[in-house]
Structure 1
Amino acid sequence: MASPLARLTADEIIAARALLEAEGLVTETTRFPYLGLEEPPKAEVLARKESDPIDRRVRAVLLDLATGDARTVIASLTRGAIDRVDAVTGGRPPVLMEEFPAVEEIVKADPRFTEAMGRRGVTDLDLVRVAPLSAGDYGIEGESGRRMLRALMFLQNRPDDHCWAHPIDGVVAYVDVIARKVTEFHDHEDLPIPAEEGNFDRPASLRDTQKPIEITQPEGASFTVTDDVVEWENWRFRIGFDAREGLTLHQLSFAGRPLVYRASIAEMVVAYGDPSPTRFWQNYFDAGEYLLGQSTNSLSLGCDCLGEIHYFDAVLADGDGRPKVIENAICLHEEDHGILWKHTDIFTGSEEVRRQRRLVISFFLTVGNYDYGFYWYLYLDGAIQLEVKATGILFTSAHVEGGRHAAHVAPGLAAAFHQHLYCARLDMTVDGTANSIAEHEVERVPIGPGNRYGNAFTYKVTPLRTESEAVRDADPVSGRAWHITNPGSLNRLGRPVGYVLLPDARPPLLAAEGASIRGRAAFAGHHLWVTQYDPDERFPAGEFVNQSPPGQGLPAFIAGDRPLEEQDLVVWHAFGATHFPRPEDWPVMPVDTCGFILKPVGFFDTNPTLDVPASGTEACHAD
């Protein structure tokens, strides 16, 4: 095994389960909500020599379905030893895939469900779909210490009918999945079940106006892949994949210079704004509660990806701790991206143009009704971009005339206002690990001495010296951005080399102060957090998000207010979209995008793409 960051193999997952079983940690009622690689500390990896031995370790979260007890185990596959066993505290392990059908079975066995359906004229209970949804933490009496899910119901007209068009609104069940019983069943309001179908996959007709677009690379791709290490143009990095985070990128460097040690989406929350008694609790952490990696799609050539594609399969542990393969989980390709640079000079007659291209590393996943694509782009000029593509189906409810918290999207059908908020964890190494961060924003200069005509403007720089100072919000009016620099590495102008984080500055979490979701998803309340690197600080909402209390994750990480100047820094960037659904988003939503860009600023001494050749035709340049 050439790298301690290499992804777990199927054989290693089998060995991990066997070790845990041999140590008496696995019984017939044990399930594996999570099993993944326990990455070594950053300093250890960076100091490692090729010949140094590797201690392959795993982290497993074990849940006993008989008792609800859960624990985290760190084990060494290399040494065949258990290094640590800790009880799970501060929340519950993530939702298991097998709990999805279990919740429907539990709810349908409750006589209150049958009575509620009967009052609404629903007689074929086999056509009722029960959605198992994370419960959050609302201090509801009797829920402390229990593993809870909540359930809303939808109706199908027949087995192939998309049930999201027919919410059975006003009814909600609270389910203890360990005791396998409904602890509370609420029938708040008898609202009409919307009748119109939303079967987007069976259109009445298809247009015949589109001519083929062919994307070809007759000489093959420009990148190489060796043991998950990708090299393309000046870029080099390692592909990773985790059951919780999905795609991870490791040790990104440009022309041999380190930029980012590890990049991932460490958490995301979908926060709904419907305060009704049926739905006030609707807030989902798709990474910490449902696991992005476990929800990943297998991608198809010609549908999900176009061009000269390299696919990576993902090998994960299932709920029984055994390996499962998601084929074509990650798509790698390069694509044209328009003009890189161009100039026609009026004095020399020179006409030069170069085309930009980018490397795309992506994966797509489905969590319940929504689908998300995460696209990392690497550019010829050293820029790094993340674009998130949200699509899928709106979470629906019955339309109530005069309602202020949901949009009317179809006859009798509504969809609540909500937010999709993500948190990128960017473990920075800009020319090394001794980095600093500062806030840059524009500054108007008043008319006066030195600015007689009022045309001047400049920018101001505010160093973010401690963790508490680095909790910041984007501001599009001031063009606020954050520069990560290395004061110990200077460019030819004598300035620290750096990268700038350019946010898209949409609203952060909109829930009120004191709301349960604001305490649990504190990371989403601000666009920027910066911490000193700590290998145990991995997730912005904490290790165990399911039914978690407030204050975990980033608020706890920055409590010590550690210094940030010339330190090993982790930049946490929260971003996302606020969704006021449109009729055009039904019955399936066109892709909506959000994201951010990291751009070099003084990292290079000049434009690093002057050596990019013209695009194979003499018309692209003049001698």
Structure 2
Amino acid sequence: MKIVMVLVLIQVCWRCAEAHPLDPLTPSELNLVRTIITNSYPTSSSSNLTFQHVALDEPDKPQILSWLSSKSRAPSLPPRRAFVIARFQKQSLEMTVDLSTRSIISTRVYKGHGFPTLTFVEQGLVSQLPFSYEPFKDSLNKRALNMSQVVCAAFTVGWFGEEKTKRTVKVKCYYTNGTANLYARPLEGVAMVADLDDMRILSFSDRFGIPVPKGEGTEYRLSNLKPPFGPKLNGVNVTQPHRPGFTIDGHSVSWGNWKFHLGFDFQVGAIISLASIYDIEKQRYREVLYRGFISEVFVPYQDPTEEWYYTTYFDCGEYGFGQSASSLEPLTDCPPNAHFLDAFYADANGNPVKITNAFCIFEKHAGDIMWRHTEIAIPNQVITEVRADVSLVVRMVSTVGNYDYVIDWEFKPSGSIKFGVGLTGILGMKGGTYINTDQIKGEIDIHGTLLSDNTIDSESQRSQDP
């Protein structure tokens, strides 16, 4: 009963809090942005408008600091503005929208290299193109595959110095017969390039002869797994009899000697702002971090073959860590003492989309030691002092394709912030002609590791820029 009451109190505080200039755009504000822009850019059969990225246009740092230092009990907020990247008539537009005046105050046509983040809507549409494309259907027939058990996905094509005029993606397909682990059964040798603006396939090739890997032994759903299983572990109970030690006021979080603002962005996901720690000696807060987020995760693969050479993904910029945020599962993604927060973004049509349980916040004590010392040099005394390493964690998980990124911001009483990106999920596998390693002779480079019959784990690396 005590736990229920605590959660209710936190929820009430979350909903009735005063506005903050760094708060992410609300659903009503996202709707207003859509209305303002669609009124200025009406769509038709020949001119389609899509919202690729809608975010808060943050006030300048001096404005934020001035607002924070105001002596007024209710200082006036800086103007609320939105930054929008949209596609209209095959052009990328960058717009600033003033929500108070309900007007577009700046528009720029982007002329540089690269294209906006892929939206889920266009990824879904382009992944359906192969099923009405006759050469692809012929490839399925040659392999005796059931089309109803084939799924396809869009992948960015990289950039290798060439001048691009079309917004294109690669389309790769997989066979799900016998397993939900679609990445273990690629249709290797089939390569397609599709135009996102025109929604049509531009090129197709099929290097027939590479078998589709078997599905046996690739299942990962616990309910479908068969013995032998791993060791059974006893559960660990997490309790806080004196209620959680943190408070949430809108998007502002306070814990111990820390306070900070938690924001959300379509592209980068979690944004930590204005992180400050209280200096007891000087009786004031000391600024530690003005603004922090994971700006990019670069994922290059080391495979020069036709189906893989282009795989040089930017998982934040091209796919959107915020858009790809997963709804966290209580008790498994986060411990029992966690509190969950939702997030919102605008889809390709400008409509608000709610991500339930996008964040969890919890106090962590894993039995680690922050500081200790045992002193035995003083005669007739043994002095032992220990400080437990307790921290506050803000967690978000983004799922991009076969990989799941666990993003943790960890605040420690010592004044440090620990930022971590954990990588889990499913291996990026490709099909091959080899059954065992004895067949791989001499100078043959399969650009990966042979996992099982006709299945290779493709080599890749990751680097993130927080």
Superposition TM-score tier, normalisation by shorter sequence: 0.7 to 0.9
* Aligned mates of 2:180, 2:290 — CA distance in 1: 46
What TM-score results when the alignment is normalised by the length of structure 1?
Answer: 0.64
1:17 aligns with 2:17: no
Match of 2:453 among 399, 411, 417: 411
1:344 aligns with 2:374: yes
- Residues 248 and 264 in structure 1, CA contact (< 8 A), matched pair in contact too: yes
Match of 1:56 among 80, 83, 99: 80
Q: CA deviation at 1:104?
A: 2.6
Query: Which one-letter code corresponds to 1:287 in the other structure?
Result: C
Unaligned segments of structure 1, at least 5 residues: 425-623
Query: Which one-letter code corresponds to 1:155 in the other structure?
Result: Y
Query: Which one-letter code corresponds to 2:78 in the other structure?
Result: I
1:114 aligns with 2:137: yes
Query: Which one-letter code corresponds to 1:408 in the other structure?
Result: L
Q: CA deviation at 1:310?
A: 1.5
1:387 aligns with 2:420: yes
Q: CA deviation at 1:99?
A: 2.0
Q: Displaced runs of 4+ in structure 1, greater than 6 A?
A: none
- Residues 342 and 354 in structure 1, CA contact (< 8 A), matched pair in contact too: yes
Aligned position for 1:39: 58
* Aligned mates of 1:144, 1:116 — CA distance in 2: 29
Match of 1:262 among 288, 291, 299: 291
Q: CA deviation at 1:407?
A: 0.9
Change (3 A) 1:15 1:192: same
Match of 2:126 among 76, 85, 103: 103
Q: CA deviation at 1:129?
A: 1.6
Q: 1:188-232 deviations in whole A, cap 9, x for unaligned?
A: 352111113311112104557322210110111111111111111
Q: 1:510-569 deviations in whole A, cap 9, x for unaligned?
A: xxxxxxxxxxxxxxxxxxxxxxxxxxxxxxxxxxxxxxxxxxxxxxxxxxxxxxxxxxxx
* Aligned mates of 1:385, 1:95 — CA distance in 2: 30
Aligned position for 1:72: 94
Identify which range, 240-249 or 88-97, moves more after superposition.
88-97
Q: 1:448-479 deviations in whole A, cap 9, x for unaligned?
A: xxxxxxxxxxxxxxxxxxxxxxxxxxxxxxxx
Change (3 A) 1:282 1:53: closer
Match of 1:177 among 196, 210, 232: 196
Aligned position for 1:398: 431
Q: CA deviation at 1:117?
A: 2.4
Q: CA deviation at 1:83?
A: 1.2
- Residues 59 and 78 in structure 2, CA contact (< 8 A), matched pair in contact too: no
1:333 aligns with 2:355: no
Q: CA deviation at 1:404?
A: 4.1
* Aligned mates of 1:268, 1:207 — CA distance in 2: 32
* Aligned mates of 1:257, 1:275 — CA distance in 2: 50
* Aligned mates of 1:208, 1:281 — CA distance in 2: 41
Q: CA deviation at 1:30?
A: 1.4
- SS of structure 1 residue aligned to 2:323: helix
Aligned position for 1:248: 271
Give the number of equivalent residue pairs: 417
1:192 aligns with 2:202: no
* Aligned mates of 1:184, 1:266 — CA distance in 2: 33
Unaligned segments of structure 2, at least 5 residues: 1-17, 279-284, 435-439
Aligned position for 1:361: 394
Aligned position for 1:378: 411
Q: 1:374-424 deviations in whole A, cap 9, x for unaligned?
A: 011111111111111111111111134343411112222001110121111
1:6 aligns with 2:23: yes
Q: CA deviation at 1:47?
A: 2.2
* Aligned mates of 2:100, 2:86 — CA distance in 1: 21
Matches for 1:447-486 after TM superposition, within 5 Å: none
* Aligned mates of 1:225, 1:196 — CA distance in 2: 47
Aligned position for 2:4: none
Change (3 A) 1:53 1:351: closer
Aligned position for 2:14: none
- Residues 120 and 190 in structure 1, CA contact (< 8 A), matched pair in contact too: no
* Aligned mates of 2:32, 2:215 — CA distance in 1: 51
- Residues 274 and 416 in structure 1, CA contact (< 8 A), matched pair in contact too: yes
Match of 1:136 among 136, 139, 158: 158
Query: Which one-letter code corresponds to 2:372 in the other structure?
Result: K
Q: CA deviation at 1:161?
A: 3.4
* Aligned mates of 2:264, 2:199 — CA distance in 1: 33
Q: 1:32-64 deviations in whole A, cap 9, x for unaligned?
A: 111110001112211233524420000111123
Aligned position for 1:145: 165
* Aligned mates of 1:199, 1:330 — CA distance in 2: 28
- SS of structure 1 residue aligned to 2:65: helix
Aligned position for 1:473: none
Match of 1:225 among 236, 248, 256: 248
* Aligned mates of 2:232, 2:64 — CA distance in 1: 54
Q: CA deviation at 1:26?
A: 4.6
Aligned position for 1:519: none
Q: CA deviation at 1:121?
A: 2.9
* Aligned mates of 1:325, 1:180 — CA distance in 2: 27
* Aligned mates of 2:77, 2:152 — CA distance in 1: 50
Change (3 A) 1:128 1:355: same
Change (3 A) 1:147 1:224: same
Q: 1:76-97 deviations in whole A, cap 9, x for unaligned?
A: 1022221101112322111121
* Aligned mates of 2:93, 2:350 — CA distance in 1: 14
* Aligned mates of 1:83, 1:365 — CA distance in 2: 33
Matches for 1:414-563 after TM superposition, within 5 Å: 414-424=456-466
- SS of structure 1 residue aligned to 2:19: coil
- Residues 119 and 347 in structure 2, CA contact (< 8 A), matched pair in contact too: no
* Aligned mates of 1:45, 1:106 — CA distance in 2: 47
* Aligned mates of 1:356, 1:225 — CA distance in 2: 22
Query: Which one-letter code corresponds to 2:85 in the other structure?
Result: V
Aligned position for 2:12: none
* Aligned mates of 2:172, 2:150 — CA distance in 1: 10
Q: 1:114-137 deviations in whole A, cap 9, x for unaligned?
A: 222233332x22222212101122
Aligned position for 1:509: none
* Aligned mates of 2:294, 2:345 — CA distance in 1: 18
Q: 1:570-614 deviations in whole A, cap 9, x for unaligned?
A: xxxxxxxxxxxxxxxxxxxxxxxxxxxxxxxxxxxxxxxxxxxxx
1:154 aligns with 2:171: no
Percent same amino acid among aligned pairs?
28
- Residues 260 and 272 in structure 2, CA contact (< 8 A), matched pair in contact too: yes
Q: CA deviation at 1:153?
A: 1.8
Match of 2:342 among 304, 310, 313: 313
Query: Which one-letter code corresponds to 1:253 in the other structure?
Result: S
* Aligned mates of 1:41, 1:349 — CA distance in 2: 55
What TM-score results when the alignment is normalised by the length of structure 2?
Answer: 0.85
Aligned position for 2:15: none
- Residues 188 and 277 in structure 1, CA contact (< 8 A), matched pair in contact too: no
